[in-house]
Amino acid sequence: MINQTVRGTKDLLFDEWYRFKYVQQTASEISSLYGFLPAETPIFEYTEVFTKTLGDSSDIINKEMYTFNDKGGKSITLRPEFTAAVVRLLIEKKLQTPIKLFSTGPAFRYERPQKGRQRQFHQINFEAFGIEDPKADIELITLAQHLLTEFGIDKNVRLEINSLGDGETISKYREVLISYFKKFQNDLSEDSQNRLIKNPLRILDSKDKTDKEIISGAPKISDYYTKESLSFFEQILNGLTILDIPYTANDKLVRGLDYYCHTVFEFVTEDLGSQGAVFAGGRYDNLVSSVGGKHTPAIGFAGGIERIMELANCFVKEERAVYLIPIGKEAEEYALALANELRRNGLYVIYEYSGTLKTRMKKANQADAKVALIFGDEELSSKTLKVKDMDLGEEKTVARSNIIKSIHQVYGRNRKSRFC
């Protein structure tokens, strides 16, 4: 066991690491176009940060959290999701609202590993606090769509959206669902029987085959919207239509956490098997006040980086090396200083410490180097270097003082293009 990863975790190497960083970097850059500011929370919090926000009917609380006591006897939990931690940050730092925050990093849930789902996974996360207007909902959904387009995966991903309404709507609908599901209580899965007591809306999220058949006949929440809830939802749908963002209204869509109200949405795909949600989120206007902050309307969403990587037609454009080929003792010593200078000017340099000219040229080809710099006693005395374009096989002698410019000319404009 000492020489293998823990189940549900994964190493990131080489091209995959670059793809991972590309997703994070792209999300950060696009979030800034929408006014989001960067925020990073610790990967573990006091357990109450999550138990007081996620709700005791959520699978995360009941089954999935990594919780332990530290050496001081305090209960600590590895971050299973971002929103609770960001809310803690908002309250503790007394951040002024409205404010939009972008976060990224690892999260941890004890789940059965499968495609697109790991026990240590990574997310990009977006939260907007202090904005009650439905335009905020539209803007965040637009941001999610923008990201999908940027990653080149928007064609195979569809938006599903629903509204849970306000407190009055949820209260009425809860009673109706309890009455409906009690008729089938003995046929429901064990999880759904437990949810019937704690939060019957969560039954609508069940993946159990028998549960799904029962759910198909359940009352629709849209029949219980208040006038205000209906107006709020209609404004969002109208905005999406204006922006030409296609959607499917799914009246059975709920989120896996208890704090949501009004808008809930998911961008889903068939290309990831059962783990179909690429982005998911919604509105949680009462969450901040429920944990000791002032009333702060809020909406957010998150996406799994691993799932995006699975879908994106993404490849790494590796930067190709400058390969140094010194000939003779003095040239070998000079190569140390030359390599240092080139690297300080942002160039990727490979420098072997020994070998014949023939051997080094062979290694330069094996490394797919773009440029070889060849120099011996003659070049050192004339303060020149031989620059060879490895693709064209062309070689020219260049003054030492012009070497950086000459290398850039061989590479062209896209020398530093690393990502997708």
Q: For all residues of the chain together, what is the average pLDDT?
A: 91
pLDDT at 315: 64
Q: Answer yes or no: do 276 and 331 share one domain.
A: no
Token pair in block for residue 9: 């975790």
Residue 23 — very low, low, confident or very high, per pLDDT cuts 50/70/90? very high
Residue numbers of the domain that contains 372: 322-411
Comparing CA positions, the residue from 149, 142, 157 lying closest to residue 35 is: 142
Comparing CA positions, the residue from 262, 212, 261, 258 lying closest to residue 236 is: 262
Pick the last residue of a domain from 280, 311, 342.
311
Report, as an integer, the average pLDDT of 21-32. Answer: 95
Convert the pLDDT of each residue in 127-152 to its tens digit.
999 999 999 999 999 999 999 999 99
Instruction: Please report, for the chain, how many H helices and E strands are present, in that order.
Output: 15, 16
pLDDT at 273: 74
Write the CATH number for 304: 3.30.930.10
Q: Answer yes or no: do 94 and 243 share one domain.
A: yes
Do the domain assignments include residue 272?
Answer: yes
Q: Which amino acid is at 90?
A: L
Convert the pLDDT of each residue in 28-82 to its tens digit.
999 999 999 999 999 999 999 998 877 665 667 667 999 999 999 999 999 999 9
Using alpha carbons only, give the angle 160, 163, 169 rounded to the nearest 5 degrees: 155
Do the domain assignments include residue 54?
Answer: yes
Pick the last residue of a domain from 311, 343, 370.
311
Q: Answer yes or no: do 330 and 301 share one domain.
A: no
In 142-288, the DSSP E strands lie at 158-163, 248-249, 261-268, 277-283
Q: Answer yes or no: do 332 and 391 share one domain.
A: yes
Q: Answer yes or no: do 237 and 127 share one domain.
A: yes
**Residue 418 pLDDT exceeds 50:** no
pLDDT at 2: 83
pLDDT at 59: 65
Q: Answer yes or no: do 129 and 257 share one domain.
A: yes
Q: Answer yes or no: do 255 and 369 share one domain.
A: no
In 130-269, the DSSP E strands lie at 158-163, 248-249, 261-268
Do the domain assignments include residue 247?
Answer: yes
Q: Which amino acid is at 139?
A: E
Do the domain assignments include residue 278?
Answer: yes
Convert the pLDDT of each residue in 334-384 to its tens digit.
999 999 999 999 999 999 889 999 999 999 999 999 999 999 999 999 999
Residues making up the chain, counted from first to last: 420
**Residue 414 pLDDT exceeds 70:** no
Q: What is the DSSP string of 316-340?
A: --PPPPEEEEE-SHHHHHHHHHHHH
Do the domain assignments include residue 187?
Answer: no
Secondary structure letter of residue 218 according to DSSP = S
**Residue 413 pLDDT exceeds 60:** no
pLDDT at 255: 72
Do the domain assignments include residue 202?
Answer: no
Do the domain assignments include residue 205?
Answer: no
Q: Answer yes or no: do 147 and 284 share one domain.
A: yes
Are 264 and 161 within 8 A, CB to CB? yes
Q: Which amino acid is at 339?
A: A
- Owner of token pair 């080809």: 365
In 252-321, the DSSP E strands lie at 261-268, 277-283, 298-304
**Residue 416 pLDDT exceeds 50:** no
Are 309 and 150 within 8 A, CB to CB? no
Are 305 and 20 within 8 A, CB to CB? yes
The count of structural domains within the chain is 2
pTM: 0.88
pLDDT at 260: 85
Q: What is each CA distance from 277 to 9, 157, 304, 307, 346, in whole angstroms?
A: 20, 9, 9, 8, 39
β-pair type (349-351, 322-326): parallel
Pick the last residue of a domain from 311, 339, 372.
311
Comparing CA positions, the residue from 72, 45, 31, 3 lying closest to residue 291 is: 45
pLDDT at 55: 64
Q: Answer yes or no: do 66 and 90 share one domain.
A: yes
pLDDT at 389: 95
Do the domain assignments include residue 6?
Answer: no
Write the CATH number for 349: 3.40.50.800
CA-based diameter of the chain, in Å?
A: 95
β-pair type (120-129, 99-108): antiparallel
Q: Answer yes or no: do 67 and 151 share one domain.
A: yes
Instruction: Look at 216-220, 271-275, 302-306, 364-368 and tell me which has the smallest mean pLDDT.
Output: 271-275
Gyration radius (Cα) of the chain, Å: 28
Convert the pLDDT of each residue in 169-184 to its tens digit.
988 988 998 999 899 8
The SS3 assignment for 320 reads: coil
Are 284 and 256 within 8 A, CB to CB? no
Convert the pLDDT of each residue in 196-247 to its tens digit.
887 888 888 888 899 889 988 999 999 999 999 999 999 999 999 999 999 9
Q: Rounded to an integer, what distance in angstroms lies between the CA atom of residue 330 and that of residue 308? A: 51
Report, as an integer, the average pLDDT of 8-23. Answer: 91
Q: Answer yes or no: do 274 and 363 share one domain.
A: no
Residue 117 — very low, low, confident or very high, per pLDDT cuts 50/70/90? confident
Q: Answer yes or no: do 19 and 128 share one domain.
A: yes
